[in-house]
Amino acid sequence: MPIVMQAGIKVLHKVSSLRHARKAESVGVDVVSIVGAECGGHPGLDMIGRMVNAGLAGPQLTIPWLIGGGIGTGRQIAAVLAMGGAGVVIGTRFLVADEIWAHPGYKQVLVDASERDTALGMHSVRNTVRALANDTMRELAGIEASDPAVTIQDLLPLVSGKIGRRAYETGDIRRGVLSAGQSLGAIKSTAPHGEIVSELEADMMAALRHAGALEPVPSKLLRAPRLTVLRG
């Protein structure tokens, strides 16, 4: 960090928990992105959800922070902004963009999937991953359950990135650790990236307008109601 800072480079550091975000701030990073348990790829070991992270980040951090993990709608972006976040991290929602080179069959699988169609693996080697639920993830779960002493070398024949790349190229998603988050439920079709962003923006602005229209409840209306006892 001292070398980077002396060069005037701004650093955005990705973390999977608030404890790591606090550490990153202490060594001088400029911004942190905190991903929750819902994220595709590697959500870390603590497995704390994004809403918990967002709710706790403000009081604990003084640098700008972003929230990721299952972000697929503009309403979620509005919520993060309302809680003091500087923005969000989006991954899975953009995988169906026309500009992504993945096979059309692979993208269609994402369109057809729901928020229930992911699985977790590799926790035994302290590298938890959330990916599409497929043959590889089921086999991985079986190995990890039967052998607590399994190593990353044992798992490489299943989790190698080369296998996942073939899925992107062929559309056959049965094999490979294919990172995907629970925002799968928000994906309805493929589209150009610009259209996806515009949809997210419109949804976010609608949510912010809705929140802005809410009026505070007068304090006198928050008094505890009286308890009436009816005797027969």
Determine the pLDDT at residue 215. 76
Determine the pLDDT at residue 230. 63
Determine the pLDDT at residue 77. 97
Query: What's the CA gap between 164 and 172, in Å, rounded?
Result: 10
In a domain? residue 217:
no
Are 55 and 102 in a shared domain? no
Beta strands in the chain (DSSP E): 12-15, 31-35, 65-68, 87-89, 118-121, 129-132
User: Is residue 224 very low, low, confident or very high in pLDDT (cuts 50, 70, 90)?
Assistant: low
Could you list the residue range(s) of the whole structural domain that residue 186 is in?
A: 92-190
Are 152 and 182 in a shared domain? yes
Q: What are phi and psi of 63, to 5 degrees?
A: -90, 160
Determine the pLDDT at residue 216. 73
Are 117 and 132 in a shared domain? yes
Tens digits of per-residue pLDDT, 178-216? 999 999 999 999 999 999 999 999 999 999 999 988 877
Determine the pLDDT at residue 219. 61
Query: What's the CA gap between 77 and 82, in Å, rounded?
Result: 9
Are 96 and 86 in a shared domain? no
Cα-based distances in Å from 35 to 18, 48, 71, 88, 108:
9, 9, 10, 9, 25
Q: How many CB atoms lie within 10 A of CB 191?
A: 15
Query: What's the CA gap between 77 and 69, in Å, rounded?
Result: 11
Are 118 and 77 in a shared domain? no
Q: Is 17 helix (H, G, I), strand (E, B) or coil?
A: coil
- For residue 76, give the CATH number of its domain: 3.20.20.70
pLDDT at 221 over 60: no
User: Is residue 223 very low, low, confident or very high in pLDDT (cuts 50, 70, 90)?
Assistant: low
Cα-based distances in Å from 28 to 5, 39, 112, 198:
8, 25, 43, 34
Are 69 and 99 in a shared domain? no
Name the average pLDDT for the chain.
Answer: 93
Determine the pLDDT at residue 228. 56
Determine the pLDDT at residue 131. 98
Are 135 and 170 in a shared domain? yes
What's this model's pTM, rounded to 2 decimal places?
Answer: 0.88
Tens digits of per-residue pLDDT, 63-104? 999 999 999 999 999 999 999 999 999 999 999 999 999 999
Domain count, the chain: 2
